Amino acid sequence: MSSHKFQTEVNQLLHLIIHSLYSHKEIFLRELISNAADALEKLKYLTLTDDAFKSFPFDPRIDISFDKNSNILTVADTGIGMNETDLVENLGTIASSGTRKFLEQITGDQKKDSGLIGQFGVGFYSSFMVADRIEVITRKAGEDKAYRWASDGKGEYQIEEASRDGAGTTITLHLNENGAEYASRWQIEDIVKKYSNHIMFPIFLHYEDTTYEGEGDKKKEKKENKVSQINQASALWKRSKSELKEEDYHGFYKTLSHDTEAPMLYTHTQAEGAMEYTTLFYVPAKAPFDLYYRDYRAGVKLYVKRVFITDDDRELMPTYLRFVRGIIDSEDLPLNVSREMLQKNRILEKIKSASVKKILEELKKLAEDTERYAAFWKEYSRPMKEGLYMDFENREALLDLMRFKSTKADGFVSLAEYKDRMQTDQKAIYYITGEREANLRNSPLLEMYRDKDVEVLIMDDEIDEVILPQVGRYKDIELKSVNRSDAAEDLKSEGDKKAEKEVEPLVKRIKQVLGDRVKDVKASTRLSSSPSCIVADEKDPTVQMQGLLKAMGNADISSVKPILEINPAHDIVVRLKDVSDEAVFADISSLLYEQAMLIEGVKLENPGQFVERLNRVVAKAL
């Protein structure tokens, strides 16, 4: 026997689990059954595609038994099994690099969430919620040796050679006080029907049945050992849609995703004709925890003729739809299809293209319910916006699904709604980008649009700054950022242009003072109550984009300078024309620039000089 210490992250995880972090203990059985089903699917695939396993005896099943007197629960399968190396890798460590983030997230908010275990792929360890000790006896298919793994979850585990008839894994839980209730036929049946009814392999429950014979004093108790199948063991997605109910779809979703909450929506397609395939896709009510991880786990499983092929291929769904969970089952792919073939397979590409369109159609239907779609947008706005950048084929459909905050409406509005509200002579869809919604709504850049009753979309998500310039247009209408110097040109009247021209001498004086701190100084009637603002030149990155580039460390933005715009009608600017004291003129000109930078959320290079200037001007005024 050899003793091993758990990986540090596993120790932390076990501590959290054992101390009742999760509110629904029953999910431990769901996780053990799901792991058993995975093992069976892997072996089934080998028996169909690998010559070395084609004659391998394979009787797929999961067996659950219990002993109420001894508080023991056992889950066994006839799947692929494990050898000693597999035991160390699978039960002694956690391979996912997202585990540390998971632990930080859990310990940070201390929320009880029964769905977290399944979402994070660490389900085996959930058994320590209900067991003082766990023993695993397993034998890998094609190998002669079997091994026993055992642990009390307190930092160490032991591995030794054992014996087992045939390939597969048997997990024995020595239940504690919290788990004693699960050594019960009715509890087990309820949990299996709730979470695992549509696992594609039969689940058998072994139990002792008590009956009575005779009557009165002659009545005798008779005990009989029985075995009964307690799940449907069917590929739900292959059943006719007409015979399935919403609860059937929701139940299968929980089996598939390990989520305890019902999905936001689902769509079931059974295609016939030139290509035969079935798809069943779900959108979770809450975004998967790894949605923004580089090593996110793909959510769609591929089957061929109901035979599991892979659940680890990101080619099955575009990256921006990585939150989708579901099944693709093809009748036309070969069973021995390799991952390399998958990446270039025309049949799969056509299925993928049709599937994406179907999902977007379902989201369009969902959008008809404003409240439900708002919930969707809250969870998935960012990946959907990523789709605008990477999925040119479906860009128009994606644009119709976009939602943004607006100066003319509460909540979110669509581009179609904005278009319907446009003024007769309005030539563009205007938007403003920046870090905080409150700051953007109070930005001087909106003053002209507010005065002229022109709607502006508020875009406070940093991804908007990256995506919108790439899109450019919506139904032949230009998307225009008010953060740029040319945005207001088509809204200016002849009177506006005349007022701007009249202060050109003042503009030149201010530009001389500011020097290379700015790219240019212009008079602009886009302002009404503010004396100045900064904007970006047409081809330069905006302030927010500069921040993003700086954070990524892959661009030199020191040469990018803003354009200062001054309001010809503002009292400060009007009075500034008559200031002859060059020192005072320089101070006020600099303050016009610096206050505009502060309003835009830019950190001043020299706050000390700004304060000195401000103090001098205030003292002069007093």
How far is CA 345 from each of CA 132, 317, 321, 348, 497, rounded to the nearest angstrom?
49, 14, 20, 5, 60
Check whether 567 has a pLDDT greater than 60.
Answer: yes
| pLDDT, tens only, 35-46 | 898 899 889 989
Work out the average pLDDT over 320-346: 83
Find, among 132, 26, 136, 40, the residue nearest to 90 by Cα.
136
Cα–Cα distance for residue pair 211/224, rounded to 1 Å: 8
CB 594 within 8 A of CB 614: no
Task: Give Cα separations from 371 to 186, 228, 366, 403, 421 (angstroms).
Answer: 39, 45, 9, 13, 21
Report yes or no: 204 and 196 within 8 Å, Cβ to Cβ.
Answer: no
Q: Residue range 50-79: average pLDDT?
A: 94
0.85 exceeded by pTM? no
Residue 16, pLDDT > 80, answer no
| 261 SS3 class | coil
How high is the mean pLDDT of the chain? 85
β-pair partners for 430: 456, 480
Instruction: Determine the 3-state secondary structure of 408 from DSSP.
Output: coil
Enter the CATH code of domain 236-366: 3.30.230.80
pLDDT at 464 over 70: yes
- Report domain 492-621's class: mainly alpha
Q: Which CATH superfamily is domain 2-226 in?
A: Histidine kinase-like ATPase, C-terminal domain (3.30.565.10)
* C-alpha dihedral, 570 to 574 to 580 to 581, nearest 10°: -20
**Using CA atoms, how far apart are residues 135 and 130, in angstroms rounded to an integer?**
13
Distance CA 146, CA 56 (A): 17
Query: Is the separation of the CB atoms in 286 and 342 below 8 Å?
Result: no
Helix (H, G, I), strand (E, B) or coil at 4: strand
Write the pLDDT tens digit of every residue in 379-428: 999 999 999 989 999 999 999 999 999 999 888 999 999 999 999 889 89
- Alpha-carbon gap, residue 225 to 423, rounded angstroms: 79
Give the CATH number of domain 392-489; options: 3.40.190.10, 3.40.630.10, 3.40.50.11260, 2.40.30.10: 3.40.50.11260
Range with the lowest mean pLDDT among 161-175, 219-233, 313-327, 328-342? 328-342
Domain ranges of the chain: 2-226, 236-366, 392-489, 492-621
User: Which of 386, 387, 397, 391 minimizes the C-alpha distance to 364?
Assistant: 397
Q: How far apart are the first and last CA of the chain?
A: 88
Q: Residue 110's pLDDT is what?
A: 42
Burial class (CB in 10 A: 0-12, 13-18, 19+), 451: middle
Mapped onto helix, strand or coil, the DSSP state of residue 486 is coil
Only one residue has tokens 């998307």, namely 479
* DSSP H/E element including 431: strand 428-433
> 55: helix, coil or strand?
coil
Residues 313 and 259: their CA atoms lie apart, in Å, by 21
